[in-house]
Structure 1
Amino acid sequence: MKFSCHFNKLLCFIREYYFNYISNVPCCQDISRQITRWSVNIPPAGRNNTHKKTKRGNKMAVVLIRACILYVIITFSLRLMGKRQLGELQPSELVVTILISNIASVPVEDSSMPMLMGVVPIITLVCLDVIMSAVMLKYPKFRRLMIGSPRVIMSEGVIMQKEMKRLRYTVDDLVEAMHEEQIFDITQVYYAIVETTGKIHFLKKKDYQSAEKADIACGGSSDDPPAVIIRDGREDPEQMKFMGLGMGWLHEQLRQQQLSISDVFLMTADRNGQNTIIRRQRGL
């Protein structure tokens, strides 16, 4: 940086005091043109750097102030919308949240854009969401049209395969949701419903609703929970190996039920060979 300043001073000195003499010498005309090219528009030493630092500092301050203002506006907007966790958002609410985040980023990135270009769309989206919520509360049919309604995927212990297919839910989704509710055996489930947020809630059968008492009465159990060994007509060799079960045992169990692997929608088994088979419905 210091070398650049001294070099600029030297060029200015040469340009001001020796330019006339050098330009009159034919052999030095090329040197003169080069010095002129280097020294043109050279600002006074030190002023350019100070100006750049000041400009950068002002721009950073504008960005920080805008970010703070938008943070307050977005926080207030989400509070006004009454939202909680991301997993509890309805589809329309999630769309509004994503749009607000994208709109808010534009004035922060481009400091030349007026703040109103970001604030007005955010306020508009929030007002639109509040109006939509009020309309959906007054008209249930409109609410079902916009966000849907809860769907039953298990009733009286029977999996509603057509409903799962319509919702594009797989066996893995169902099993994962069961594990989150500390349910490892599908035979324990009496009722399962998919909420509009996508979360699945389960109701256990009466015999399993007080698991602690049942465990005390039985003296406890050290067996591992059942594992899914067939899902959507495809076997899972890794789970079978983990449970100590072989393909011979699997084919024997299916032969007793006069089934093939492709006929099975879901099959679970434990280390003792106790298994549960749910047949695939026709046409699925």
Structure 2
Amino acid sequence: MPIWLEIIIRTLSAAVVLFIMTRLLGKRQLSQLTFFEYITGITIGDLAAYLSIDHEQDWYIGLVAMATWFLVSFGIEFLQMKSKKSRDWIDSKGTVLIKDGKILEDNLKKEKLTNEELLEQLRKKSIFKLSQVQFAVIEPDGEVNVLLKDEYQPITPAQLGIKIPAESEPQAVILDGKIMDEPLATAGFSRQWLNTELEKQGVSLDNVYVGQVDGYGQLYIDLYDDQIQIPQPQEKPMLLATLKKCEADLELFALSTENETSKQIYTTCSEQLQRVINDIRQLLIQ
């Protein structure tokens, strides 16, 4: 067999074996790999390269070495899944670096981190003031996670007592100028509705690069021609403004009338409309 043909066969075989091994070992991002998993990946890759080009050695020697490393890594992962003690010993545990706003110097030394490196990690989290940090921990993969003090955490609708309805997944209904019928049906709309929305915005279907419908039925489009300015939809802001005007008119009627019965009716309707506005405000400002 010619050498070039043998190398092609070896390379394809190594690629297939390497693909099968990586699928069996599971999916992890590079930043999530432990040090041992990182070394194992490099070693198996080197063995696959050795198997591909070293035609003077028997091909099965490289496969045996790859299989051995694979079994070791697979066995360690299985052991980690079955035993927390083994998981803590192999991967180690997270280490607290800041607690109750105080830096734990001994833990910094344990993790071989300097105070400057800690500040750098905080800056990567967009935290430039150490005084804002309540708690910080370094995870086994080296990532530093931070909990801010209550007064520096962003305000959420839940803290304000506002209930936000669950939003469904956005659907890409137009790709490369073509309508995607299945995502459009999943979003609960028809082609007729989509064409009507495109007419409202004054664009043609063949000029749309991407069209996406969010959970509130709002259509966002990106055109091939970036010079064209697409007007923003005004239906929701106009509806909110109309409701506010109606509520203000009801208050005005209540103040201007001298009839106590009418005044009470206007006041009650105004309060009810105000509650409605508060309930749907988040939907109308999306």
Provide TM-score, normalisation by structure 1. Answer: 0.51
- Judge conservation of contact 1:152–1:192 (CA < 8 Å) in 2: yes
Distance 2:11 2:141 in 1: 31
Instruction: Indicate the residue corresponding to 1:173 in structure 2.
Output: 117
Instruction: Indicate the residue corresponding to 1:202 in structure 2.
Output: 146
Check if 1:162 corresponds to 2:106: yes
**Which range is displaced more, 79-88 or 196-205?**
79-88
- Judge conservation of contact 2:34–2:140 (CA < 8 Å) in 1: yes
Deviation of 1:142 (Å): 2.1
Instruction: Indicate the residue corresponding to 1:104 in structure 2.
Output: 48
SS of the equivalent of 2:113 reads: coil
Distance 2:20 2:116 in 1: 38
- Structure-to-structure mapping, 1:72-221, within 5 angstroms: 72-210=16-154
Spell out, residue by residue over 1:43-75, the C-alpha distance to the aligned partner (whole angstroms, 9 max, x if none): xxxxxxxxxxxx9xx323322332222122112
Distance 1:65 1:157 in 2: 60
Distance 1:187 1:65 in 2: 61
Q: 1:158 to 1:117 in 2, by over 3 A?
A: same
SS of the equivalent of 2:31 reads: helix
Distance 2:9 2:154 in 1: 56
Q: Which amino acid aligns with 1:169?
A: L
- Judge conservation of contact 1:194–1:200 (CA < 8 Å) in 2: yes
SS of the equivalent of 1:193 reads: strand
Spell out, residue by residue over 1:203-225, the C-alpha distance to the aligned partner (whole angstroms, 9 max, x if none): 11111111799xxxxxxxxxxxx
- Judge conservation of contact 2:136–2:144 (CA < 8 Å) in 1: yes
SS of the equivalent of 1:122 reads: helix
- Judge conservation of contact 2:11–2:53 (CA < 8 Å) in 1: no
SS of the equivalent of 2:134 reads: strand
Instruction: Indicate the residue corresponding to 1:21 in structure 2.
Output: none
**Which range is displaced more, 155-164 or 134-143?**
134-143
Distance 1:180 1:79 in 2: 32
- Judge conservation of contact 1:77–1:126 (CA < 8 Å) in 2: yes
Who wins on radius of gyration, i.e. which is larger?
1
Spell out, residue by residue over 1:103-124, the C-alpha distance to the aligned partner (whole angstroms, 9 max, x if none): 2221223112222111222122
Spell out, residue by residue over 1:255-276, the C-alpha distance to the aligned partner (whole angstroms, 9 max, x if none): xxxxxxxxxxxxxxxxxxxxxx
Q: 1:211 to 1:71 in 2, by over 3 A?
A: farther
Q: 1:183 to 1:212 in 2, by over 3 A?
A: farther
Q: Which amino acid aligns with 1:170?
A: T
SS of the equivalent of 1:203 reads: strand
- Structure-to-structure mapping, 1:33-72, within 5 angstroms: 58-72=2-16
Identity %: 25
Spell out, residue by residue over 1:118-164, the C-alpha distance to the aligned partner (whole angstroms, 9 max, x if none): 12221222222222222222222222222211111111111111101
Deviation of 1:79 (Å): 1.7
Deviation of 1:97 (Å): 1.1
Q: Which amino acid aligns with 2:138?
A: V
SS of the equivalent of 2:15 reads: helix
Q: 1:106 to 1:129 in 2, by over 3 A?
A: same
Instruction: Indicate the residue corresponding to 1:258 in structure 2.
Output: none
Instruction: Indicate the residue corresponding to 2:245 in structure 1.
Output: none
Which ranges in structure 2 are unaligned for 5 or more consecutive residues?
158-286
SS of the equivalent of 2:36 reads: helix
Distance 1:97 1:187 in 2: 41
- Judge conservation of contact 1:83–1:89 (CA < 8 Å) in 2: no
The aligned length equals 157
The alignment yields a C-alpha RMSD, in angstroms, of 2.2
- Judge conservation of contact 1:194–1:201 (CA < 8 Å) in 2: yes
Moved runs in structure 1, 4+ residues, more than 3 A?
Answer: none
Deviation of 1:92 (Å): 2.1
Instruction: Indicate the residue corresponding to 2:184 in structure 1.
Output: none
- Judge conservation of contact 1:188–1:204 (CA < 8 Å) in 2: yes
Q: 1:118 to 1:134 in 2, by over 3 A?
A: same
Deviation of 1:191 (Å): 0.9
